[in-house]
Structure 1
Amino acid sequence: MYEFGYPGGFGFSLFGLMSTVIPLVVIGGILFIVIRGLSTWMSNNAAELRQDEVTVISKRMEVWGGSNNSSAHTSYYITFELSSGERVEFGVSGTQYGSCREGETGLLAYQGSRFKGFQPRATAAATASVAERSQEQPAQPVQSKPRQEPFRPQKISNRSAEHYNWGASCDGWHLVKGDDLSVIHERMPGKTEEVRHYHTRARQFFFVLSGEASLEVDGTRLVLREQEGAEVPPGVWHQMKNERFDDVEFLVISTPPTRGDRIETE
């Protein structure tokens, strides 16, 4: 009466055991993740909202997904050193990631393990100074300072603007080329694309004038048709593509300008 005395019986019993254990392990793992996430959420809600003078120690990104035709996504993290010397890392948005610099000091707001905001020292000091002055004296009417030299508006077009070539036979015209603002008219022939990249400081807006463009922003693909546009904040990976055969023309508006402010993918 030896139950596992022949190979068929042993294999059948082992298969039955595994088909019972594996689903239990999977369900147990899912329950563990849900319970741990709920516990962290409740702990953060119960924690005191704190503020501390900190220093930005390091920044890092994690790219996940992007295989088997799935979209890629990027997670952003910043490590701060508290006034006590303790170092803590928080997950942040792409905008906050792009606006912070390593070595920068400022005021960190957090609740448990939940990041609430970071205000650089210069901005925090300016805000406090304005608040103090508003309490000390009544607000004075704002008077515009007369210009020493009158502004003379000028028309500009692709025929008169500074022209340059980039990528694979792509064109660009500098419509506005200032220290705080850049407006560029670009043309991409069919089946061309730029290198995937991000900017550490510049915020950009892409606006299609004619044709159709594909703009990938942090793993999300946007199809921009004529008279449509999209914003890209600093610190967010993006790539403009022309997947069609005809040309696409669009405006790229950047503030501040992107000169020396471009990080390309490896």
Structure 2
Amino acid sequence: MFMFDFMSAIFPVFFALILVFISISIIKGIGEWINNNKQPVLIVDACVVSKRSHTSHHIHNHNNGMHHHNQTTYYATFEVESGDRMEFRISGKEYGLLAEKDKGRLTFQGTRYLSFERNGRE
């Protein structure tokens, strides 16, 4: 009986914590979106210094069957003339088109990547 009472008391706490974490993530995302919209759109000369990807794997049990889902997030790091480096999340298509040492014009707004027009390589 003790275990049932413990579980019935702890389940709402875990559920509330999950809701808090989801709410914080949503609020942070909205805050970043608003902040990016306030920033000017900048176009600078830049060089691609690195690319990376992150793949996450999810397994779902649906209708008595296991479903696997993979999600890949792509990033590129650019170096501007001042020597500063900035990493942006980019699309898979952009990731495939970029190569390290590509030089060109980077367009971004805050932390939001907009485009990269390649001039060539070093």
Aligned residue in 1 for 2:62: none
**Which of residues 78, 81, 88 is equivalent to 1:80?**
78
* Displacement of 1:71: 3.2
Distance (Å, rounded) in 1 between the aligned partners of 2:15 and 2:56: 26
Larger strand proportion, structure 1 or 2?
2
Aligned residue in 2 for 1:53: 45
Q: Between the two structures, name the one with larger relative contact order (CA 8 Å, sep ≥ 6).
A: 2
Aligned residue in 2 for 1:149: none
Structure exhibiting the larger radius of gyration computed from Cα positions: 1
Distance (Å, rounded) in 2 between the aligned partners of 1:15 and 1:38: 34
User: Please, what is the CA RMSD of the aligned residues?
Assistant: 2.0
Larger helix proportion, structure 1 or 2?
2
Q: Does 1:112 align with 2:110?
A: yes
Matches within 5 A, 1:102-251: 102-122=100-120
Match of 1:116, SS state, is: strand
Aligned residue in 2 for 1:21: 13
Aligned residue in 1 for 2:99: 101
Aligned residue in 1 for 2:63: none
* Displacement of 1:102: 0.5
Where structure 2 has 5 or more consecutive residues not aligned to the other structure, the ranges are 60-65
Aligned residue in 2 for 1:38: 30
* Displacement of 1:49: 0.4
How many residues were matched structurally? 114
Aligned residue in 2 for 1:125: none
Match of 2:20, SS state, is: helix
State the identity %.
30
Moved more, 110-119 or 17-26: 17-26
* Displacement of 1:91: 1.2
